[in-house]
Structure formats: structure tokens, C-alpha cells
Structure 1
Amino acid sequence: MPFSGASTSTTLLHSHVTDAVKAPSFIRLSGNVVLARSETLKIYAALGAVRALLKAGTVRPGDTLVDSSSGIYALALAMVCHRYGLRCHIVASTTVTPTIRAQLEILGATVDQMPPERDLRLDQHRRVARVQELLRVNPGMHWMRQYHDPVHYRGYREMAELVRQALPDAPLAVVASVGTGASSAGLIQPLREHDPATPLIGVQPFGSVSFGSERFQDPEAIIAGIGSAIPFDNVRHELYDRVHWMSFRHAMAGTVALMRAHAVFAGLSTGAAYLTALWEARRRPERTHLLVGADTGHRYVEQVFARHREAPDPGTLEPVEIGSLDELTPPWSTMRWARRGHPSPSAVVVGSRRPGPSAGRPAGRG
């Protein structure tokens, strides 16, 4: 007798590994929490962007694409360049691991890695400066601008369709790390074409400028894919209904708990989003909370998983609900964002609706 929990799937033959790794696996974690687990979510961003650029004639096979990355987008872009016969140059964060760097080099990418730097703000600024230096010397390079060019939204429409196929009748809420903003915007907009009320809940580390917590510092923060030290134009603030700010220790608790409870080996941003999703799902049981898992846990083995005994019990953790950014309080705060625009000035207050930037705003220069 087959195991009652077994499922069958159709075997597909792929022509390139990017097709094999891009689609998420959907895992029901509880009655109203579903994880969209990805090996590397940013394949969607890189594939969608490169295909659009090739179709428009902006780039051609043999051209060199350049961008800055903390690791996951770099690997995705290198894989897509491998697929389409493009050259790839990565200005890599100090946080890029030897494992990722080795893969980039084997794929033919040229890697400029920033020297060790504890201040991730300085790391990001130095990477942008290095990209601009490369463009001055090599004007034929194409800067992908993953942080600023909305062409990176395009690939996520395909993922949104997979979500609707997996959860066809469920009213959804999307819980995702903010990061560059591309996956959140690229996913929520097509989902809202079918249900405009679909909430988007974003997760940020303390110290990120994207939602106004730059006055804080978290010495242990290594959540390179969840926050930012510089403004990102692809972060569409007016799309978010609620924002959570979380410390490294709380994100670590969520990451370890996700593996302990569900055997899911995921990255730190996924762990932070998991802790957030558990709290949100208790408050809104009528919606299925889609937790976006961006990558696996391999680059967090030493910093997170090897320290699993230090992780706090997630059952003891609760956020402080705040009414304005002036009330932000580590280690975990949450605020109803209500689809407002950029948090400037800092004291965004609940109930004071500010007009957001238009949907068609131009990408920044980075």
C-alpha cells in the first residue's frame, strides 16, 4: 500500500538548468501557511530581464552584463548568461561565499570581490562605485541595475501563475523579504489582478534604509538579501500593507525553527519571513499566507545553523506593534504600512495617508 502522503508528478525534460531550478516547490506548513521554496528565486528576475533585453536588442549574444550582488542574483545572472551566450561580470559583496564564487568562476563570470568589511553600508557603496568605474572604462558593458530597473519584475509573472495554479481558490496574503523589491512587486501585481485586496507583508532588518530603520545597527546582521544600505528604486513602497523589522537573532530563531518543525533548510531571509508569517497567520486566519523562500541555507551554515542551540524559542517571540517610524524598537517591530509611499520624512504615522510615487516612475541611476 502506498504511503498516504505520497504524491505523483510529471517528469519534465529541461533544455537548461535555469528551467529546472526556477520553479518553486509549494509546501503546506500549516492550515493557512504555505511555503514557496526556491533553490534560487532570482532566476526569475535574471531570466525575465535578460529575455526582455535580448528581445529589445538592448543586448546581444557576446555582450557583457555587469552588476553588483551579495551572491544569489550573481549566480542567477551567471547561469542566465551561460544559457544565452552572454559574458558576465560580477562586483561581489564581501559576503559572497567561496562556494558561490567558485560556481561563478566555473560559469565563466569575472568576479570583483570587495575586501572583508564589517560595515555592509560601506560594502554596498563600494560595489556601486566599482560598477561605475567599470562602465567608464568599458562603455559597451550593460549594467543590469537589479536594484533599480523594473525589467526585473517581469519574470515573476510566471511565478504568480504557478501560485494561482497551486492555490486556485485561496484568498492569499504574501509574506516576503523586501530586498531589492523586485520579487515583491513582480509577484504581487499579477496576483492583485485577480484579488486587489491581496495583502503584501514585507520583512526588513534593522539598519535598512528601505523602510526607514537606518538609524539602527545590528552588529550580527548578515541578511544581505533582505535589506539595503542605499535606496533601491525597485522597492515600491506603495505596494506594501504591513512591514516587519527584525533582528538577526529573531531571524535566526525563525530559520532554525523552520528546519526543526518542517525539515526545510532555507536561508536567513526565509527564516525571518517564516516567523512573520506565523504571527500574521494567527491574526488573519481567513487568508492563506504565502511565504516566499528565496534560497537554501547553504551560505548560512556557520553563522546560523551551526549555532542552532543559541536560537531563541520562536514561541516566546512577539513583535511590538508601532504607529510611526519614530517608535521603531528592536528586536522586532511591526507597523501597518497601508500602501503608503516612501518613508520620508521618517515619522510616517498610521492614519496619515501619503501619496506614493506613480507606478511608472523611472528607474534610478544607482
Structure 2
Amino acid sequence: MHVISVPQAFNEEELYVDLRPTLGCPLFLKCEGFNFAGSVKLKAATEMVESAEREGILTPGSTLVESSSGNLGVALSVIAASKGYRFVCVTDSRCNLATRLMMEALGSEVHVITGHEDNGSFLTARLDYVRRLCARDPRYVWLSQYTNPANWRAHYNRTAPAIARAFPNLDVLFVGTGTTGTLMGCARWFSRWHRPVTVVAVDSVGSVTFGGAPGRRMIPGLGMSVRPPLLDESFVDEAVCVEEKDTIRTCRLLARRGFLFGGSTGTVVGGATQWLARHDTAGLTAVAIAPDLGERYLDTIYQTNWVEGLFGEDTGLQLLGPDPLDAP
């Protein structure tokens, strides 16, 4: 029985989905979306806010400000409402409408950036706006999820140990990469474990995190238009990049089994499936981290008009592909 007085006090750590019946490969999915922010970002948000409070950076009367494509913005909105801080989220047009409405319902102010770079990135414009706010008013406190070590410490202290307790014979861990906070926290922790674990980073095509060419990315969450300052590739064994079509296909396939996950989860599972298809999986214990749930993507990933607008009318529900259970 859980009894809490603040929303950030609850996060389901022990829920996993066995995806073998759906995907035909050995993969357990750690579901991080069952908390009051609906994503894994509640952990990082909590750690960053509490660290800033301990250090005296964040005090009563401070205004939190952060650049976010969505999930961290919701997490900080939850915490700001709980603790009585004002919060300004600087996002861009890719942020789902449901996500923006959630932040506003929680009392946050949402500023949507419209200008972007030639490669389609909004990040530089978002960060410039945050810097201008902080320069104009000393009450603004920027936690800077992109550079804040509390981001990865949250997962070093909580996420990785939880996985190790559940899977003492873990062989492979798949982690999505945005700011790389989840990746770095888990990879650092498992680098010191009693047995070797292959850490596979899963990124989006169009992201430059692992040296890929910059390109259009329409699904918020994973990927970066600049190299993440938190990333230390010495802790990462491999990286897999996933096309957005495959993200959508994976999300819709999982939905056909009753599991409505978000875009970041679809990318991670898609990347894990690709990796597992290329390797001998006999006796392999593999876990992927599912960062989010799917309700915020009902008007994008799960909306046929949105998908056809991006990829053409010939895609539509064909993106589901064949049902693996129908295979001979």
C-alpha cells in the first residue's frame, strides 16, 4: 500500500513487460511511465530540483525555467506545483498539444519557440530564450538538464540498481538517448557491477549524438541536434539509430497487444529489436527502458492523418507491418 503526500514520492519501479510473445525475441521492458508525470523524467526532475535546493540555488521565490521537448517539462510542472514554485517551460512546435495542456493545467507557463536552424533544430533557439530570461531576472533558475550531473545521478542511484535487483543475470541493457542522463547513470552503474553488461544506446535518425548527420526529427523525446555534454562514450558499448517510421510501426504494433506506449519507448523497442535480430539470443537476458506512455501521442503517432502528412498516403496503417503472430 502506497500513501503519499507529494506526487514525486511515487514511482513504480518493479513493473516489466515480457515482449517475447509480441516481438518474438527475448526482451523485458521496464515501464517508467507509471508516476504522476507519466515518464522517466520525474526521476531526473526530482533529483535536479532537490540538488538545487540543497545547494541554495533554488529558494522560495525562485522561478524554475527549463528547455524541454515535453516530458521533463511535465515532470517539472508536477514538482513545481507540489513545492509552490513558478515554472516556465520553453518548448517548440514539436511538443504535443496534450503535453502543453498538461503543463498549463498544472499551473506552468509554456513558451513555444517557432524559429529553428536550417537542420530543423529548435534547441539553440530554445536555449537562447532561456538565457535571456535568466539574464533579465535573477529569480529565474535554470536547472539545465543538458549539463546537470544530477540528471544522470538520478538513474545511477535508482534506475540501474532497480534493474539489477530484478535481473541479476542481465546481459544487455537498451537505453534511449536524449540528454543521455538515463544512459549515463545506468551505464556508469553497470560498469562497476559484478558481471559484464552490454549497454546499447538507442538514438533517432537525424540526431547527431553519435556522429550521425543532422536531420528532421518530428517525434519529441530522443535525439539531439548538438552533442550532449553529459555523454561519455567510454561507458557505451554500441549505438543503434532508429528511423521515425520504425518508431511509429513499433508503437502501433505494441498498441495492437494493448500496450499504448509513447514515441521514446517505440524508438527504444525498435532499436532493441534490430539489435537482437543481429545477435544470438539463446539464453540472453535483455532489458529495455520504456521512458513514456502513449496518451500524449494520440494526435501524432497514433493519428493516421499526421503520419500520412509526414510520410505519404501510402504508409497509413501499413506502418504496422505484418503481425509476427501470423508468421508460419
For normalisation by structure 2, the TM-score amounts to 0.83
Corresponding residue for residue 299 of structure 1? 296
Is 1:13 the counterpart of 2:3? The answer is: yes
Is 1:248 the counterpart of 2:247? The answer is: no
CA pair 226-50 structure 1, distance change in 2 beyond 3 A: same
Structure 2 counterpart of 1:28, from 18, 40, 54: 18
Distance in 2, matches of 1:21 and 1:130, equals 32
The equivalences for 1:74-113 within 5 A come to: 74-113=73-112
SS at match of 2:197: coil
Corresponding residue for residue 263 of structure 2? 268
SS at match of 2:303: helix
The answer on whether the counterparts of 1:62 and 1:86 sit within 8 Å (CA) in structure 2 is yes
The answer on whether the counterparts of 1:91 and 1:112 sit within 8 Å (CA) in structure 2 is yes
Corresponding residue for residue 356 of structure 1? none
Corresponding residue for residue 162 of structure 2? 162
Distance in 1, matches of 2:274 and 2:190, equals 22
The answer on whether the counterparts of 2:171 and 2:286 sit within 8 Å (CA) in structure 1 is yes
The answer on whether the counterparts of 1:65 and 1:88 sit within 8 Å (CA) in structure 2 is yes
1:292 deviates by 0.9
CA pair 138-130 structure 1, distance change in 2 beyond 3 A: same
Distance in 2, matches of 1:226 and 1:206, equals 10
Is 1:133 the counterpart of 2:132? The answer is: yes
Is 1:310 the counterpart of 2:318? The answer is: yes
Comparing 286-295 with 36-45, which one deviates more in the overlay? 286-295
1:180 deviates by 0.8
Identity %: 22
1:267 deviates by 1.2
SS at match of 2:124: helix
1:333-357 deviation per Cα after TM superposition (whole angstroms, max 9, x unaligned): xxxxxxxxxxxxxxxxxxxxxxxxx
CA pair 314-210 structure 1, distance change in 2 beyond 3 A: farther
Distance in 2, matches of 1:228 and 1:279, equals 21
Number of positions where the alignment pairs a residue of Structure 1 with one of Structure 2: 301
Distance in 2, matches of 1:172 and 1:64, equals 43
Is 1:37 the counterpart of 2:34? The answer is: no
Comparing 130-139 with 276-285, which one deviates more in the overlay? 276-285
Could you list the structure 1 runs, at least 4 aligned residues long, displaced by more than 6 angstroms after superposition: 116-120
Corresponding residue for residue 288 of structure 1? 285
The answer on whether the counterparts of 2:14 and 2:166 sit within 8 Å (CA) in structure 1 is no
1:248-305 deviation per Cα after TM superposition (whole angstroms, max 9, x unaligned): 1111122212222x42111122112212222333514243211111111123223322
1:124 deviates by 1.4
1:103 deviates by 2.1
Is 1:73 the counterpart of 2:67? The answer is: no
Comparing 32-41 with 194-203, which one deviates more in the overlay? 194-203
1:59 deviates by 1.5
CA pair 134-120 structure 1, distance change in 2 beyond 3 A: farther
Distance in 2, matches of 1:267 and 1:24, equals 19
1:200 deviates by 1.3
Distance in 2, matches of 1:49 and 1:198, equals 27
Is 1:144 the counterpart of 2:152? The answer is: no
Distance in 1, matches of 2:322 and 2:137, equals 49
SS at match of 1:155: helix
Query: Structure 1: which amino acid aligns with 2:185?
Result: G
Gaps of at least 5 residues in structure 2 are 34-38, 305-315
Corresponding residue for residue 351 of structure 1? none
Distance in 2, matches of 1:276 and 1:106, equals 34
The answer on whether the counterparts of 2:187 and 2:236 sit within 8 Å (CA) in structure 1 is no
Structure 1 counterpart of 2:223, from 198, 223, 227: 227
The equivalences for 1:202-217 within 5 A come to: 202-215=201-214, 217=215
CA pair 183-133 structure 1, distance change in 2 beyond 3 A: same
1:17 deviates by 2.1
The equivalences for 1:350-361 within 5 A come to: none
Is 1:180 the counterpart of 2:176? The answer is: no
1:179-228 deviation per Cα after TM superposition (whole angstroms, max 9, x unaligned): 1100111122223322462111112222211111125x34xx32321111
Distance in 1, matches of 2:166 and 2:115, equals 42
Distance in 1, matches of 2:92 and 2:194, equals 38
1:135 deviates by 1.2
Corresponding residue for residue 361 of structure 1? none
Q: Alpha carbon RMSD of aligned pairs, Å?
A: 2.4
Is 1:153 the counterpart of 2:152? The answer is: yes
